Amino acid sequence: MLNFQFHTPTEFVFGRGTENLAGELVKKYGGTKVLIHYGGGSALRTGLYDKTVKSLEAAGLKHVALGGARPNPVDTLVYEGIELARREGVDFILGVGGGSAIDSSKAIAAGVPYEGDFWDFFAEKASPAKTIRLGCIVTLPATGTEGSDSAVITRSDGMLKRGMNSRFNRPLFSIMNPELTFTLPPWQTASGIADMMAHIMERYFTNTRHVDVTDRLGEALLTSIVNQAGIVMREPENYDARAEIMWAGTLAHNNLCGVGRETDFSVHKLEHELSAKWDVTHGAGLAALYPAWMQYQMPQNPMRLAQFAARVFGAEMNFEDPTVTAWDGIRRLAAFYTSIGMPVNLRELDARIGKSDIPELVAKVRRKKDGTVGSFRPLAEADLKNVFELAFDWKP
């Protein structure tokens, strides 16, 4: 196991009716004037926005609002939010919605006190030294942004999608009411499930040895997600299943399962280029890449893939030839994706994607300093091309 520091200061406030505590929580953390930042309108339609305003007013807090954060949020609205917050003397940002509205809130919170261009943080030219206080009300279990130290924004000029990691990105509080997820369309529910599974798998496929505790935590989360997924897809208003999925999504990405080990995150880097160019849903993009990535990476450590297959999907372990078990696991994962309506290759993901787009995708993928992507078996230029090509029409 590697050395690590793990600090998750977020107060999670979970359960029915918790959105009504927004005002009290903002006050508790010292906010006096709040910017409510939300998405394309679901918060208005469901009545969550009105409840939030009521709760802030009951706590004697002033507020301004900015809607319009779209899926795969863009920099232009972040600039607008920074301007608005400065002009209005806002001292607290409350993100209301899915990962996009909350990530956009994180970028605004970092940008307000910064004299330069907030994009510097995403271009790795600077790190935030301080940010405005931030809390959120989550309506989509997927990204884990409610507990994560990351935010992901797309720069409209050149459609570059980039992440920024900072301890300031962890919200002071996150309100999580599973009932708020009842209105999610099936596609978003399923994409969220694929995303949270990917967050665990990006950490699971590692070369670090002696990480049994975090392996088992990840496997438990994955198994629970797979078990509950069928229920939430069939019964969108099943509170208990929604609650299990929601909490799993947080634990999948607050790094509980990533500490003490080298993590990979190459599939995320590849996917970000798909959602930047075609605006596809992030989780669906991950599902379309994972089977091919696992197949390509099998030679690196067939036993680790076989362990995943056996412990998460109940595949029978073939000790003489773990590649047999590993293959079984890839097929079972793909069948699971199909069962919840997720794609298993790029063709299924979006008909606009062509093989001729692959060189451009490869060119844009964010590399490490040594030019490769990921760490399980780092992907060099030729590997990136091979994985995209394999994913193009991957079949079980």
User: Which of residues 10 and 275 has its CB atom nearest to Zn ion in the complex?
Assistant: 275
What residues numbered 67-96 form the site for ligand NZQ, per CB under 6 A?
71-73
CB 178 within 8 A of CB 247: no
Residue choice 19, 195, 244, 328 for contact with Zn ion (CB under 5 A): 195
CA distance 229 to 191: 11
Is 140 one of the binding residues for ligand NZQ (CB under 6 A)?
yes
CB of 121 to ligand NZQ, least distance (A): 13
CB of 98 to ligand NZQ, least distance (A): 2
How many residues sit close enough to Zn ion to count as binding (CB under 5 A)? 1
Segment interacting with Zn ion (CB under 5 A) among 82-90, 129-137, 146-154, 190-198:
190-198
What residues numbered 313-372 form the site for ligand NZQ, per CB under 6 A?
none
User: Which of residues 47 and 89 has its CB atom nearest to ligand NZQ in the complex?
Assistant: 47
Is 26 one of the binding residues for ligand NZQ (CB under 6 A)?
no
CB of 143 to Zn ion, least distance (A): 6
CB of 395 to ligand NZQ, least distance (A): 26
CA distance 142 to 155: 22
Residue choice 18, 104, 188, 325 for contact with ligand NZQ (CB under 6 A): 188
Which tokens sit at 194?
């694929």
Residue 151: name its binding partner from Zn ion, ligand NZQ, none (Cβ under 5 to 8 Å by kind): ligand NZQ
Long-range pairs for 301-308 at CB < 8 Å and ≥24 separation?
Answer: 301/205, 301/207, 301/376, 302/326, 304/204, 304/205, 304/206, 305/205, 305/329, 305/330, 307/215, 308/201, 308/204, 308/205, 308/219
CB of 282 to Zn ion, least distance (A): 6
What residues numbered 37-66 form the site for ligand NZQ, per CB under 6 A?
39-43
User: Which of residues 195 and 215 has its CB atom nearest to Zn ion in the complex?
Assistant: 195
CB of 184 to ligand NZQ, least distance (A): 5
Q: At what angle do helices 75-88 and 99-111 cross, to 10 degrees?
A: 50
Q: How many residues are recorded in the chain? A: 396
x-or-dash pattern for ligand NZQ, window 103-132, by CB under 6 A?
A: x-----------------------------
User: Which of residues 201 and 298 has its CB atom nearest to Zn ion in the complex?
Assistant: 201
What residues numbered 246-305 form the site for Zn ion, per CB under 5 A?
none
* Neighbour-count burial for 198-219, b at 16+ CB within 10 Å, e otherwise: bbbbbbbbbeeeebeebbebbb
User: Which of residues 39 and 111 has its CB atom nearest to ligand NZQ in the complex?
Assistant: 39
Is 218 one of the binding residues for ligand NZQ (CB under 6 A)?
no
User: Which of residues 256 and 309 has its CB atom nearest to ligand NZQ in the complex?
Assistant: 256
Binding site for ligand NZQ (CB under 6 A): 39-43, 71-73, 97-101, 103, 139-140, 142-145, 148, 150-152, 180-181, 183-184, 188, 192, 195, 253, 268, 275, 282
Residue numbers at the binding site for Zn ion (CB under 5 A): 195
